[in-house]
Chain A
Amino acid sequence: MITTTDYEKMKLKELRRLARKRGIKGYYRMRKKDLVEALTSLSRVLTDENVKKITNLLEGNPRMSELRKIAKSMGLKLRRKMKKSEIISLIETELSDRLRKELGVGGRSYVGYREELRESVCEDIEERSVPHSYNEDRLKALPVNPNWIHVYWDFSSDTYSKVKSGKLKLLVHDVTYIIFDGKNAHRTFEFDVHPDMRKYYVEVPNPRANYIVELVIDRDGEYKVIMRSNVVETPPSCPGNLGREEWVELKSMRMEKMKMREPLVKSGRARVDSSEMVKKDG
């Protein structure tokens, strides 16, 4: 929603262009102050909230007095003896018209608003069921690519009250080829985090490696572990070197092992990816 101050910041030329687009009569004669006022008053009627409010009223069973009030606020002239349905239709047409002028063809139409409204009641309930927190302790790590991992966490309210004012750190342990007992990591990296960040991206040194992340509270250099993550495996970024080859004969399913030989052909990574050409505009 554009406010008066937004308009005030615009140049006269821009305001004129906007005014023309929105069908304000005699815009070319107006001074900046008048243009700002005209545009603001137009927007005032057409805020999302207003359109929804009017739509809501029309959808219900509006009283005649309410209808007249809306019509008046929109500057519509009503004939005397007009029927309810006629006034509603008049308001709807005007609303559609103005929306088109206001938003250009790229905007949502009045019909769009109305259909959305019918669903919005149910949607509100559904969206409220996508909580900010699940009220439980959780620390998860996911691989992004050979050198980055993603970590996210959540707290139970108990834990949260304990940690919210403390000094929190993420410890990222390199646990490749070992069973981690809390102390035996090859190396550990530390990052200061705030409990409310809820997520973090960590650059890690090794592809093809295993990491475990811990969330700890730092009490004067003494770390108390609050949560520990799953093991996360970073993908490789180059060919491996296991040292042996295994083959299977398809008819007999007989296995054969041998020392690793050089590949007969080198093929690097494809330089194009699935998003390059296709689905450019969704």
Chain B
Amino acid sequence: MDEIVGKSGYFLLVLHAHLPYVHHPEREEFLEERWFFEAMTETYIPLLETFEKLSKDGVEFKLVISFSPPLMEMIVNPSMQEKYGRHLRKLLELAEKEVERTREEDPRKHRMANFYRERFERALEIFENLDGNILAGFIELHKSGFLEIITCNATHAFLPLFREYPHVIDLQIGLAVEIYERLMGFPPNGMWIAECGFFPDLDSHLSKFGIKYFFLDTHGFTFSETPPRYGVYRPIMTPEGVFAFARDPQSSEQIWSAEIGYPGDFNYREFYRDIGFDREYDYIKPYIDKSGVRVNTGIKYHRITGKVDLSEKDLYDLDRAIETANNHAHDFLIKKREQVKYLQERFEGEIPIIVAPFDAELFGHWWFEGPWFLDKFFRLVSKDEILGTILPLDFLKLIDKVQIITPAQSSWGAKGFNDVWLNGKNDWIYPHLHKASERIIEILGILNRKDKLKMRAFTQMIREFLLAQASDWPFIMTTGTSVEYAVRRIKRHIGRFNRIYESLKGNGIDVNELERYELLDDIFSEISHEDILRILEGGK
């Protein structure tokens, strides 16, 4: 650890990778599965490629990446892998057609078409080299110490709205730990709490399942009963002995803000101009949704340009975009150095840590050049004398004392509390979710543990409950896109939950129906009823 001692301060990047579980095994193609495909091609594979290249080049870099259990499940699911492989090959075919087609068009377009073809070829190569399981690539990097993979509560439920149901909190946290262990072979150190949704006492559940650290939004620290002496620039310990790190508002704004953040630069790629919408229907039809609905393909030729209509966007210039990403990485480094210097002065020599958590999908998917920015930034930091990058537990080794604080109820959603997940558009889900929470206890009381069929039904009932709990559904209802799908998903899972509940209370389990649910909602299939019972009945 000698090399890291002596830095004035540290920067900790936390990427939270998550998608709701959108696996539809009953269909060959399903529109919402594209969410996963897009994130694979645009974020997860490019990030893996970036980090692998950094490690190959001997660059010292550290970051935390959380994979939510539903995302992990989708990544390792063979049927999803097959579907993605098919999707990617088709995308490559489209890129090849584009290479031909753009010969007659603007040379900038032609260059990009070639760029996309190479890019998709490389993605396919990375994907196939790992036998379709890209998580394995990240695990390698975890093992060599560059990044730390952490988990997230089981189905990304927004926990503050389940505060009244401790067994549900246990289920979300305990199962996440269990799934992580199965896939990784060792327990997780940290957990990303969905939406940073914290309520006092959540830490006791985290501690129960061996979680050592988690992350909060800024005001989770600063609005606590005793505002921490070092603000958000040092971890704290909760009364239950779990460490917490909080988000630095400045870094968030610099990178994240759509208005003033880097991703809005005019030279960067325009997300909303995609050949899925631009090319004539008959040509693009094989590459969009089977139903004929136009969707994003991922091939985009335009740059943000400015505040102009989509139709007036200028063509993308690859060199200029790369240069801009490099400049932004330089700029960010300078800002972080200044921040560290300022903080260290105020802290009377104590070392600050700047924590910058983001949705992983920002990098690559929304901000196309994001992975290049990270690449450059990590290369610069690795040579910097003042600033370093570090993993959470290693930072704790550098300091003698931490403040004990009970963090405040908070989240990183709009307005900072529960508004996004509880408002007039989505509040109808909670009576059902809460009732289901109680029904789990009710069934536990009458369940015959020796009845194999009943235990199977109970396990599926829990799966339906967990799937219904995802914070993505109320989030989508609030933001207003894909609402129909989100409503259908919640209703389906609640409906299926209630069907199984009724059958467990009565005497009739319909095996065909149960099999159908097991097939359709196949999340956490390796989790047994023993695991669930152990977690529900007293934790680890």
Which positions in A face B, CB cutoff 8 Å? 100, 105-109, 111-112, 115, 119, 122-123, 125-131, 134, 138, 140, 142-146, 150, 152, 154, 199, 201, 230, 233, 235-242, 244-251, 255-256, 260-261, 263-282
A-B contact pairs, 30 of them (CB 8 A): A126-B495, A126-B496, A129-B494, A129-B496, A129-B502, A130-B491, A130-B498, A131-B498, A134-B435, A138-B431, A142-B422, A143-B417, A152-B430, A240-B223, A240-B224, A246-B226, A263-B222, A263-B230, A264-B230, A265-B343, A265-B346, A266-B222, A267-B222, A270-B217, A270-B249, A270-B412, A277-B263, A277-B367, A280-B481, A282-B35
CB within 8 Å for A249 and B400 given contacts A108-B291, A240-B225, A277-B366: yes
B402 interface residue, CB < 8 Å from A?
A: yes
> For residues 390 through 447 of chain B, which have their beta carbon under 8 Å from a beta carbon of chain A?
396, 399-405, 408-410, 412-420, 422-424, 427, 430-432, 434-435
Q: How far is the CA of A268 from the CA of B409 in the complex (A)?
A: 15
Contact of B417 among A130, A144, A249, A277 (CB under 8 A): A144
Q: How far is the CA of A100 from the CA of B281 in the complex (A)?
A: 11
Q: How far is the CA of A251 from the CA of B233 in the complex (A)?
A: 21
Q: How far is the CA of A146 from the CA of B416 in the complex (A)?
A: 10
Q: Is the CB of A142 within 8 A of B430?
A: yes
Q: Is the CB of A238 within 8 A of B479?
A: no
Q: Is the CB of A250 within 8 A of B401?
A: yes
From residue B114, how far is it (CB to closest CB) to chain A in Å?
A: 28
Q: Is the CB of A274 within 8 A of B195?
A: yes
From residue A128, how far is it (CB to closest CB) to chain B in Å?
A: 7
Q: Is the CB of A282 within 8 A of B482?
A: yes
> For residues 106 through 137 of chain B, which have their beta carbon under 8 Å from a beta carbon of chain A?
none
Q: Is the CB of A152 within 8 A of B481?
A: no
B359 interface residue, CB < 8 Å from A?
A: yes
Q: Which residues of B contact A256 (CB under 8 A)?
A: 401
Q: Is the CB of A109 within 8 A of B231?
A: no
On chain B, the number of residues with a Cβ less than 8 Å from chain A's Cβ atoms is 93
Which positions in B face A, CB cutoff 8 Å? 26-27, 35, 160-161, 164, 195, 199, 217-219, 222-233, 237, 247-249, 252-253, 256-258, 261, 263, 281, 290-294, 343, 346-348, 359, 361-362, 366-367, 396, 399-405, 408-410, 412-420, 422-424, 427, 430-432, 434-435, 475-476, 478-479, 481-482, 491-492, 494-496, 498-499, 502, 516
From residue A202, how far is it (CB to closest CB) to chain B in Å?
A: 13
Q: How far is the CA of A13 from the CA of B499 in the complex (A)?
A: 52
Q: Is the CB of A277 within 8 A of B257?
A: yes
CB within 8 Å for A236 and B414 given contacts A105-B281, A126-B495, A275-B420: no
Q: Which residues of A contact B400 (CB under 8 A)?
A: 249-251
CB within 8 Å for A144 and B422 given contacts A264-B347, A277-B362, A278-B366: yes
Q: How far is the CA of A233 from the CA of B418 in the complex (A)?
A: 12
Q: How far is the CA of A250 from the CA of B479 in the complex (A)?
A: 44
Q: How far is the CA of A230 from the CA of B427 in the complex (A)?
A: 17
Q: Which residues of B contact A109 (CB under 8 A)?
A: 290-293
Q: Is the CB of B161 within 8 A of A142?
A: yes
Q: Is the CB of B409 within 8 A of A233?
A: yes
CB within 8 Å for A264 and B225 given contacts A273-B416, A282-B476: no
Q: Is the CB of A245 within 8 A of B237?
A: no
Q: How far is the CA of A128 from the CA of B502 in the complex (A)?
A: 13
Q: Is the CB of A267 within 8 A of B231?
A: yes
From residue B168, how far is it (CB to closest CB) to chain A in Å?
A: 14
Q: How far is the CA of A271 from the CA of B347 in the complex (A)?
A: 24
Q: Which residues of B contact A281 (CB under 8 A)?
A: 481
Q: Is the CB of B218 within 8 A of A235?
A: no
From residue A211, how far is it (CB to closest CB) to chain B in Å?
A: 14
From residue B274, how far is it (CB to closest CB) to chain A in Å?
A: 11
Contact of B230 among A246, A265, A273 (CB under 8 A): A265
Q: How far is the CA of A119 from the CA of B227 in the complex (A)?
A: 54
Q: How far is the CA of A278 from the CA of B17 in the complex (A)?
A: 12
Q: Which residues of A contact B230 (CB under 8 A)?
A: 263-265
Q: A134-B431, A142-B418, A265-B230 are in contact. List 18 more A-B contacts (CB 8 A).
A: A105-B293, A106-B294, A109-B290, A109-B293, A126-B492, A130-B491, A131-B498, A134-B435, A140-B431, A145-B419, A201-B424, A244-B226, A247-B403, A263-B228, A267-B231, A268-B249, A275-B413, A277-B367
| CB-CB nearest 4 A-B residue pairs | A126-B495, A235-B409, A270-B249, A240-B225
Q: Which residues of B contact A237 (CB under 8 A)?
A: 223
Q: How far is the CA of A144 from the CA of B491 in the complex (A)?
A: 23
Q: Which residues of B contact A250 (CB under 8 A)?
A: 396, 399-402
